[in-house]
Amino acid sequence: MPIAPHIGVILSGCGVFDGSEIHEAVVTLLCLDQQGATYQCMAPNRAFTPINHLTHKPAEHESRNTLVESARIARGHIVDLATVPPAQFDAFILPGGFGAAKNLSTFAADGADCRVDAQVIRVLTEAHKLGKPIGFLCIAPAIAAKLFGATLHPKITIGKDVETAATLEQMGARHVSCAAGDFVFDERQRILSTPERCVSGHQQTGGQVAGTGATDANGGGPTRRGCRGDAAAFRQEGLSARAERPGRTGTFPAL
């Protein structure tokens, strides 16, 4: 009997405006389970200023911890990213949400000049050297652009937001325009990205969850249901992003 692939899911908090987008994170875990994979949630142990999700304004006098907040999604079954040995996993995936641009990196504030959390750098660069597939959802492909763009120039997608795509290309990535529910898989670099909630425009129509309906953006075929979104909103510290409908996640290629 084949051994189930073991996937590391890197979370960035709990809530779209200051952490992992809850719908994306939960459905990612569901899809992995449906595909017969096991997973381990993980997050960096670092403080951040939370966002009031009712007012969309920073709670300036509060401080929360990325690992502690991510534990809400994982029901406490989570580990500090600093303790993670990449060799013990078959792949890694990063759900979207503002935390990817705020807690895992500084892309929200610094754009192409952003910095990436040291443990995120360690885990993802080691995983890449070992040939592990890495998946980036929503705004998380900005991390792929920063880590691998200058040297490897991976194909990634942020959807159809022209300004954000230009920023990723400024970091050295090759951006591919992509509809919600589709994905871009750079076979050589084993980097998969999907725009999820970062697709501007009207809702896309299509097939199913868990990867049975999606195709690469460079090919044809059906797409899963997407949603309205705006990648540029993730760069705004003022958080003027409007509330959005739940989306769907992409899945990994065969391991």
Three-class SS of the chain = CCCCCEEEEECCCECCCCCECHHHHHHHHHHHHHCCCEEEEEECCCEECCEECCCCEECCCCCEEHHHHHHHHCCCCEEEHHHCCHHHCCEEEECCCCHHHHCCECHHHHHHHCCECHHHHHHHHHHHHCCCCEEEECCCHHHHHHHHHHHHCCEECCCCCHHHHHHHHHCCCEECCCCCCCEEEECCCCEEEECHHHCCCCCCCCCCCCCCCCCECCCCCCCCCCCCCCHHHHHCCCCCCCCCCCCCCCCCCCC
| pLDDT tens, N- to C-terminus, the chain (255 residues) | 678 999 999 999 999 999 999 999 999 999 999 999 999 999 999 999 999 999 999 998 999 999 999 999 999 999 999 999 999 999 999 999 999 999 999 999 999 999 999 999 999 999 999 999 999 999 999 999 999 999 999 999 999 999 999 999 999 999 999 998 899 999 999 999 999 766 544 333 222 222 323 444 544 333 333 333 445 444 444 333 322 322 333 334 445
Please say if 41 is a catalytic residue.
Answer: no
pTM of this structure: 0.81
Q: Which domains does the chain show, CATH number per domain?
A: 6-235 (3.40.50.880)
Catalytic residue among 14, 114, 138, 227: 138
